[in-house]
Chains A and B, each alone.
Chain A
Amino acid sequence: QVQVVQSAAEVKKPGASVKVSCKASGYTFTDYYIHWVRQAPGQGLEWMGWMHPSGGGTSYAQKFQGRVAMTRDTTISTAYMDLSRLTSDDTAVYYCARGPWSGGADYWGQGTLVTVSS
């Protein structure tokens, strides 16, 4: 069965970087995009960008351009999301999710809480 498992919660200081991992299993990792979506406390869903594991191509929301990097290691079916220059506004649950090029994201990770605090 398809599973998407994310790394554990992180606490970071302002100005630091965080790297969240997303391990996929139960399907061919290179056949589907990996989306990254975040949700600040009490807020809605915010799409950050996506990465296609086959060639590593990415597309980022403009808001995160220059501060985010989405990468992958196909040998272990794992995607990564690196967010740098963290501020308190980046405190959120970060989700990865699998999705086709055309369609919704059908399998989601459990979420990774990133807390930015001095």
Chain B
Amino acid sequence: DIQMTQSPSSLSASVGDRVTITCRASQGISNYLAWYQQKPGRVPKLLIYSASTLQSGVPSRFSGSGSGTDFTLTISSLQPEDVATYYCQKYNTVPRTFGQGTKVEMK
């Protein structure tokens, strides 16, 4: 099975900072990658699919890029409401494995 590895596992940043999270696949997955946000005690929310397509209603400060094995999620200007854990998920084949998550905290 293809493994998904996120880095870092956690980060702390200030309001307005640019934040970048990386997701690496153990084999190429083209652009079959989604990103989710899960706020504490809440249900996961789809942010991005096809590696770079923003889900409807998601703020434009979120963006995704990458193809093949290396992907990034960027928050251009961190806001307090962005405190959450972020997960990548590959969906080129089953199993649709998630990364282990990246916890974003406010400094």
Whether, in the assembled complex, B71 has its beta carbon less than 8 Å from a beta carbon of chain A, the answer is: no
Residue positions of A touching B, CB distance < 8 A:
35, 37, 44-47, 49-50, 59, 61-62, 95, 97, 102-106, 108-111
**Contacting residue for B95 out of A61, A103, A104, CB 8 A:** A61
Whether, in the assembled complex, B62 has its beta carbon less than 8 Å from a beta carbon of chain A, the answer is: no
Residues of chain B at interface, number, CB under 8 A: 26
Residue positions of B touching A, CB distance < 8 A:
1, 32, 34-36, 38, 43-46, 48-50, 55, 85, 87, 89, 91, 94-101
Residues from chain A with Cβ under 8 Å of B44 in the complex: 37, 45, 95, 97, 105, 108
Q: How far is the CA of A61 from the CA of B2 in the complex (A)?
A: 12
**Contacting residue for A104 out of B1, B36, B38, B97, CB 8 A:** B36
Give me the 3 closest cross-chain CB pairs, A-B, nearest first. A104-B34, A104-B49, A104-B46
* Beta-carbon contact of B46 and A62 below 8 Å: no
Residues from chain B with Cβ under 8 Å of A97 in the complex: 44
When A45-B87, A102-B32, A103-B50 are in contact, do A62 and B55 touch as well, CB less than 8 Å? no
* Beta-carbon contact of B55 and A104 below 8 Å: yes
